[in-house]
Amino acid sequence: MKYISDIENNFTDEINALKDMSEKELDLSDIPEIDFDKLKKPIIGKFYRPLKKPISIRMDADVLEWFKSYKHYQKIINTICRNYMQKHQERK
């Protein structure tokens, strides 16, 4: 049976072996290059999902019915509101 101390010793040995290696000896070929241009403007919602809160608003009945004619109409309304918010934040 392996104990935690045995596992820690194995990792410690591996880490010490890596520390003793020069940069030229390290094989980094499986690590992808970082594209810093892509990191400048993150895509909202790809990995981060903002907290959703239930609300109650008054909306013209015909506007609401038009949105409801689409599948996922709440998501569409949220996207429209987010785009409006982002456009007007730049003005501040």
Instruction: Tally the domains of the chain.
Output: 1
Evaluate the CA torsion angle 70, 71, 74, 78 in order and state its sign.
negative
Which structural domain, as residue segments, surrounds residue 62?
A: 4-89
pLDDT digits (tens, 9 = 90+) for 35-59: 888 777 767 667 777 889 999 999 9
Instruction: Please report which helix (H) or strand (E) contains residue 73, including its range.
Output: helix 73-89
Helix (H, G, I), strand (E, B) or coil at 39: helix
Say yes or no to pLDDT of 1 above 60: no
Q: At what angle do helices 73-89 and 61-68 cross, to 10 degrees?
A: 110
pTM: 0.48
Tell me the pLDDT band of 3, cut-offs 50, 70 and 90: low
* Rounded distance between C-alpha atoms, residue 20 and residue 23, angstroms: 10
